Structure 1
Amino acid sequence: MAFPVYRTRRLFYLIVTAATVLYVLIMMEAPRHSNNRNWLYAKRRFVHKGSNIPGTGPMSPLDATTHEKHMLQDNHISGHQFNGEQTEDGKERSYAPPRETHSRYSNTTCSPRHNIAFLKVHKSGSTTVSNILQRYAVRNDLNLVLPDKLVGESGFNILGYGPLFSADMVIPVPEGQTFNILCNHMVYNRPVMDQFMPANTFYVAIVRSLEERFMSAMNYFGQVGFIMEEKKGVRGFTLKDVMPHFFINQTVRGINKESLINSIAYDFGFATYRDNEEYFQSYLKNIDKEFDFVMIMEYFDESLVLLRRRLCWGLRDILYIKRNTYEHNSLPLTEEDRHKLYESQKRDHRIYQHFYRKFWRGILAEGHDIFDEVANFKLVQKQVFDFCRGDRIQRKVLNIPSSKWNDEFRLTRSECRQMQMSELMLVEKVMDRARQRLRRDGTEKQWLKYVENFWQRNKMRIRNFETSDEMFYLSKTNAI
């Protein structure tokens, strides 16, 4: 029996109305589930009874390689505040942030920090951070601490390692000026750094989880290739056999052992010959006190946003395009290999654990607003990446609209080129910039003395150059 037309229409309208009401009810409840940061971390196995909440509780080696891979870049991360962090005594600490925004971090309410020392830890995303700092120095007419070496010589981008490095091994600044930013490779040596960095310098570093950093270093420093070449005549020897073979005696070839084994501890200045618990605890306590902030590579964007707030910078100041990254061979680890890795590099793992927990305590103390800012930052980063890698003819300027966390600004192709420069090319250009500034703004006596000292140190390699311009590779075409 067929329904009359008017009844069919009435039934249709009834269904549409019911569906609309249901949708509205779901959307009203959505913030309690889909967008709730607490819910998101629970989904990621961060928040539930017996688990490791970021920033608290012990982490086993297995935990350190499982949860760190759960990046939040593909998630919508706005929502309610993240409450319920547990302290070591098992009690719950509440982080209920105030409702006001973080406009207090804008340049209208605080002054940007210009004096910054960055510890460039190997294979931890440090080249990208250095690029950010070097561009900031150029944009704000600041002085960089740079090695006083011949451009192009091996290791010309390295300030120095160990006790051999001293303050007279850097390009001097004109009389009456001070250094502002240090971000080239060097082992942390606070007494030496204090000789040329101002008293109010902000000290920052970056660390990476043990397994991820170790695998990257094994490939980057050619150890995988050495082992595969050594075993190329052995039938059935594949990549999965590389790590068991390495852990037999942990032989390192072509590089210092510290570049691979406990390299985070080495870069932080730990004495590798002292391996007792009392010394380790004492030194870790000292660097915790001396560093104002330590970034976590696995949470790179979150780290940059928190750094921006600590330095009172703008969003534009932390834009980046990843540098010195590459695809490397995946090296499977057996449980036995993993145990040997953590046993042989306890110091690196414990340093990472310490600053990982401290980082999350800092994030949680900011309140839910920081996750909204990170989400906004990721959107801007996507626009910047597409613009810088896109058609150079069609679009010459990228307009970034204002938001709760930034003023409107324009990004040019010139800034894209600086973000995409290789590490060595950018270091070469800022070295030339520093020398030109010394010649332009320093006294004639200071410049002539500098040229003479440089000549005496390097005369065997630069005897064929007739002018200081040729000696330093100074030219207008090399200006940044």
Structure 2
Amino acid sequence: MAKLCKISSMISKRAMIRLVCFGAVAYVSVFAVFQWPRQPVMTNVIQRMCERSPAFRPTCSCQERKTTPSRPSPQPSVIHTANPTKRLPEKQHVAFVKTHKAASSTVLNILYRFARERGLVIILPKLGNYLTGTYLNKTRILPPPKGKKFDILCNHAIFNYTSFSSYLPTDTEYIGIVREPFQRFVSAVNYYRFTHPKKYLQRIPGRRGAILKTYLENPMAWEPENPMQSMTNNRMAIDFGFPAQLLRNESLFDEYLISLNKTFRVVMIAEQFDESLVLVKRTLNWSLKDVVYTIKNRARFKTRASGIEGKLLMNFYQVSNLDKKLYDFSLKRFRKQIEQEGPDFHKEVEYFRTLRENVASFCTRWQRKPKLEIPPSNWSRGFSVTRRECTLIRLEELPFVSYLQSQRKNDLLGLGANYDFMKSIPL
């Protein structure tokens, strides 16, 4: 105690005040940044099967589409292919089909940040991160605050145009994402066997390296009786709205692909993620800052896919034929869209790749500077990334959606809900 008194007497009163103030500010800052509300994941699996007729009309007639009153013009954006000084209105109404295990959680973070920065209203479930099954159910959805309507849909929901369009404005842009089917399958086994276990995958015997081989020797022997519960068999086709009970009907799926092609502006390719984001950025007239990211929702365990070839691989593609058709169709369309963008597109992709690596480095490594300054380029005005923005960029899906749900509930308590709009939406 005597030593402590002696040390304290050596410190000036001004230095002591500064030390105390610095400690208080540091504590408040850390608490403010990381005090995120958390909610458990909604683990119930969708049971209701798709009804055939509406699912085959993703581009339904004008009579079926719900009319929406005109809205104020969105804020201008500076995004233009090679002319950052030209302002184009950014598109703020977006529906994103969140495909399982296809880098969709990373896209979700981008959409969450975009909506939060602009005060847009996301369609949020009351609990968890799943909206519903084939049709959105408004009893499970948090209503928009009074005086507002929904702008963005991006959480887990099986695509159905008739249902989606009843919640969103008529100028909504539809975006999706696909991944090479076998790689998506391996990722799904990794995640739903070890990280977020599904019972049907836990039944497969053997060590991690043998699980895939055991499954692929007879895939349908391990699949659940209800196809809607599967995360490994044609899951992308199901997420894009094709009826699960018709998974063996290839001719109908060919017809369905034509309908999807008319509805979706961009179907991203997970293996070309940076290219996909630049295409989305150009299509929606967003900025490069809007689409920077860090990878989300990686599985903690890896199942080796070595030795999967020949008959085993053929078995997989035979039972996952719709996912392969969807991927091949989307990849061909994606490449054509890239060609139409011109050679400047690839230069922007390279610039964006360097940019997001710099942002990731700044956000994941401790540095003294409070923000990262990005100079102007041929594709964007200059901007900065703050530490607070880094926290949002790095935030995983579940804590982020919990945070947004908490904010929405606070808004509803303070402003009230737009119940008139919710009443106008069919169940």
TM-score normalized by structure 1? 0.65
Relative distance call for 1:249 and 1:112 in structure 2 (3 A) is: closer
Relative distance call for 1:382 and 1:368 in structure 2 (3 A) is: same
What letter is aligned with 2:366?
Answer: D
**2:217 alignment counterpart:** 247
1:300 and 2:273 are equivalent in the alignment: yes
CA contact (8 A) 2:205 2:211 kept: no
Q: CA separation in 2, counterparts of 1:147 and 1:212?
A: 29
Relative distance call for 1:246 and 1:169 in structure 2 (3 A) is: same
1:331 and 2:331 are equivalent in the alignment: no
CA contact (8 A) 1:203 1:292 kept: yes
**1:20 alignment counterpart:** none
1:102 and 2:77 are equivalent in the alignment: no
Q: CA deviation at 1:167?
A: 3.2
Q: CA deviation at 1:168?
A: 3.9
**1:140 alignment counterpart:** 118
Which among 404, 416, 424 is matched to residue 442 of structure 1?
Answer: 416
**2:130 alignment counterpart:** 158
Q: CA separation in 1, counterparts of 2:171 and 2:359?
A: 33
Q: CA deviation at 1:253?
A: 6.5
Q: CA deviation at 1:252?
A: 3.5
CA contact (8 A) 1:266 1:272 kept: yes
**2:243 alignment counterpart:** 271
Which among 216, 221, 228 is matched to residue 192 of structure 2?
Answer: 221
CA contact (8 A) 2:204 2:211 kept: no
CA contact (8 A) 1:223 1:253 kept: no
Q: CA separation in 2, counterparts of 1:123 and 1:272?
A: 18
Which among 369, 379, 387 is matched to residue 362 of structure 2?
Answer: 387
CA contact (8 A) 2:224 2:230 kept: no
Relative distance call for 1:267 and 1:369 in structure 2 (3 A) is: same
CA contact (8 A) 1:228 1:242 kept: no
1:374 and 2:346 are equivalent in the alignment: no
The one-character-per-residue Cα deviations of 1:185-240 (angstroms, maximum 9, x if unpaired) are: 010011111111000000000000011100000111108998798645xxxx7724
What letter is aligned with 1:436?
Answer: N
Q: CA deviation at 1:241?
A: 6.4
What letter is aligned with 1:219?
Answer: N
Q: Which residues of structure 1 form unaligned runs of 5+?
A: 1-100, 150-155, 451-480
**1:92 alignment counterpart:** none
The one-character-per-residue Cα deviations of 1:224-269 (angstroms, maximum 9, x if unpaired) are: 998798645xxxx772464245432530469954311000000011
Q: CA separation in 2, counterparts of 1:339 and 1:311?
A: 39
What letter is aligned with 1:103?
Answer: A
What letter is aligned with 1:266?
Answer: I
Aligned residue for 2:184, secondary structure, equals: helix
Q: CA separation in 2, counterparts of 1:223 and 1:418?
A: 27
Aligned pairs (5 A) from 1:168-317? 168-222=139-193, 231=205, 239-240=209-210, 242-250=212-220, 251-252=222-223, 257-274=229-246, 275-317=248-290
Q: CA separation in 1, counterparts of 2:204 and 2:321?
A: 28
- Please tell me the root mean square deviation across aligned C-alpha atoms, in Å: 2.6
Relative distance call for 1:246 and 1:197 in structure 2 (3 A) is: same
Relative distance call for 1:146 and 1:245 in structure 2 (3 A) is: closer
**2:90 alignment counterpart:** 112
Which among 95, 98, 105 is matched to residue 127 of structure 1?
Answer: 105
CA contact (8 A) 1:107 1:312 kept: no
Relative distance call for 1:248 and 1:223 in structure 2 (3 A) is: farther
Q: CA deviation at 1:287?
A: 1.2
Relative distance call for 1:433 and 1:218 in structure 2 (3 A) is: same
Aligned residue for 2:268, secondary structure, equals: strand
Aligned residue for 1:292, secondary structure, equals: strand
TM-score normalized by structure 2? 0.73
Relative distance call for 1:417 and 1:283 in structure 2 (3 A) is: same
**1:358 alignment counterpart:** 333
Relative distance call for 1:372 and 1:270 in structure 2 (3 A) is: same
Which among 376, 398, 413 is matched to residue 424 of structure 1?
Answer: 398
The one-character-per-residue Cα deviations of 1:137-184 (angstroms, maximum 9, x if unpaired) are: 0011111110123xxxxxx11101124x32343111123311111110
Relative distance call for 1:192 and 1:177 in structure 2 (3 A) is: same
1:322 and 2:295 are equivalent in the alignment: yes
Aligned pairs (5 A) from 1:395-406? 395-406=369-380
Q: CA separation in 1, counterparts of 2:350 and 2:204?
A: 47
Aligned residue for 1:102, secondary structure, equals: coil
CA contact (8 A) 1:223 1:252 kept: no
Q: Greater Rg, structure 1 or structure 2?
A: 1
Paired residues, number: 334
Q: CA deviation at 1:415?
A: 0.8
Relative distance call for 1:261 and 1:245 in structure 2 (3 A) is: closer
Aligned residue for 1:144, secondary structure, equals: coil
Q: Which residues of structure 2 form unaligned runs of 5+?
A: 1-79, 423-427
Q: CA separation in 2, counterparts of 1:360 and 1:389?
A: 33
The one-character-per-residue Cα deviations of 1:328-364 (angstroms, maximum 9, x if unpaired) are: 1212212111100110010000000001010010001
Aligned residue for 1:398, secondary structure, equals: strand
